[in-house]
């Protein structure tokens, strides 16, 4: 795949600030499924070290609220300024996904890349915590790390080369997620599909020089990507 917006960021920046499979490529492909106009107010939920937020603000023209529980907002703001962005374009916030400090119907859209599976597995999460923050008719775009088919009853050795059964319980297939979203009143599943850049995003990630990427490398080299995918989900608030 070609990623013209991702390519505006140096590869070294991606490697230094990634916290999983290349978030820039996942985000760019995910947003190709949607029609969110420039100037929209967007929540980047689980924004990590800010790569996806910077991409959306600088290359898509969104006003982005970068919300993450584990990253330092001051560090992220320094990075955003290095990218040529101001606090009029992007606002970093430290926040728990289950206690987001925003008014109802504040956002035109929500984007979440490689993080929704950590807090969204509870089927009540979407309807109780997230959907009320989105304007009616607004979209939620999720790139969720998942499985081609759930295999928790007989986990392949290649997956266990890097991850425990407890860690793999964060990964599910499209049928599992479709059933999860169906329990949220007011959410319409517009589309759900496997993302095309999964293998490429994982290859970029395990080439990074940090202990987390190194820890995932054994599974990828053992063939784990036969079982793993990334699920693109497009929801709309009715």
> Does 162 fall in a domain?
no
> Does 22 fall in a domain?
yes
Q: Determine phi and psi for 145, rounding to 5 degrees.
A: -65, 130
> Does 159 fall in a domain?
no
> Does 222 fall in a domain?
no
> Does 123 fall in a domain?
yes
> Does 26 fall in a domain?
yes
- The whole domain housing 20 covers 6-149+171-197+228-237
CATH code of the domain in which 99 resides: 3.40.50.150
Q: How many domains does the chain have?
A: 1
Instruction: Report the distance separating Cα 38 and Cα 57, nearest Å.
Output: 9
- By the 8 A CB rule, do 147 and 229 touch? yes
Residue with tokens 């517009």: 190
pLDDT digits (tens, 9 = 90+) for 61-100: 999 999 999 999 999 999 999 999 999 999 999 999 999 9
Q: What pTM value is reported for the model?
A: 0.97
> Does 156 fall in a domain?
no
Write out the chain in H/E/C secondary structure: CCCCCHHHCCHHHHHHHCCCCCHHHHHHHHHHCCCCCCCCEEEEECCCCCHHHHHHHHHCCCEEEEEECCCCHHHHHHHHHHCCCCCCCEEEEECCCCCCCCCCCCEEEEEEECCHHHHCCCCCHHHHHHHHHEEEEEEEEEEEEEECCCCHHHCCHHHHCCCCHHHHCCCCCHHHHHHHHHCCCCEEEEEEEECCCHHHHHHHHHCCCCHHHHHHHHHHHCCHHHCEEEEEEEEEEC
pLDDT digits (tens, 9 = 90+) for 6-27: 999 999 999 999 999 999 999 9
pLDDT in tens, the chain (238 residues): 899 999 999 999 999 999 999 999 999 999 999 999 999 999 999 999 999 999 999 999 999 999 999 999 999 999 999 999 999 999 999 999 999 999 999 999 999 999 999 999 999 999 999 999 999 999 999 999 999 999 999 999 999 999 999 999 999 999 999 999 999 999 999 999 999 999 999 999 999 999 999 999 999 999 999 999 999 999 999 9
> Does 76 fall in a domain?
yes
């Amino acid at each position: 795949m070609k990623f013209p917006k991702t390519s505006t960021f140096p590869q070294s920046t991606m490697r230094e600030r990634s916290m999983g499979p290349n978030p820039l490529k996942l985000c760019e492909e995910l947003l190709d499924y949607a029609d969110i106009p420039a100037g929209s107010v967007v929540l980047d939920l689980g924004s990590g070290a800010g790569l996806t937020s910077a991409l959306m603000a600088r290359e898509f023209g969104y006003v982005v609220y970068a919300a993450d529980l584990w990253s330092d907002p001051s560090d992220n703001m320094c990075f955003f300024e290095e990218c040529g962005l101001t606090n009029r374009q992007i606002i970093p916030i430290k926040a728990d996904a289950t206690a987001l400090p925003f008014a109802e119907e504040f956002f035109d859209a929500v984007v979440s890349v490689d993080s929704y599976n950590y807090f969204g597995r509870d089927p009540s999460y979407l309807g109780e915590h997230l959907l009320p923050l989105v304007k009616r008719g607004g979209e939620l775009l999720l790139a969720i790390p998942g499985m081609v088919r759930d295999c928790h009853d007989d986990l392949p050795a290649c997956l266990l080369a890097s991850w425990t059964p407890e860690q793999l319980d964060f990964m599910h297939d499209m049928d599992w997620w479709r059933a999860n979203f169906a329990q949220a009143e007011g959410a319409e599943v517009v589309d759900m599909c496997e993302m095309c850049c999964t293998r490429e995003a994982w290859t970029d990630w395990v080439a990074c020089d940090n202990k987390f990427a190194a820890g995932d490398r054994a599974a990828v080299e053992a063939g784990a990507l036969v079982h793993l995918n990334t699920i693109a989900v497009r929801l709309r608030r009715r």
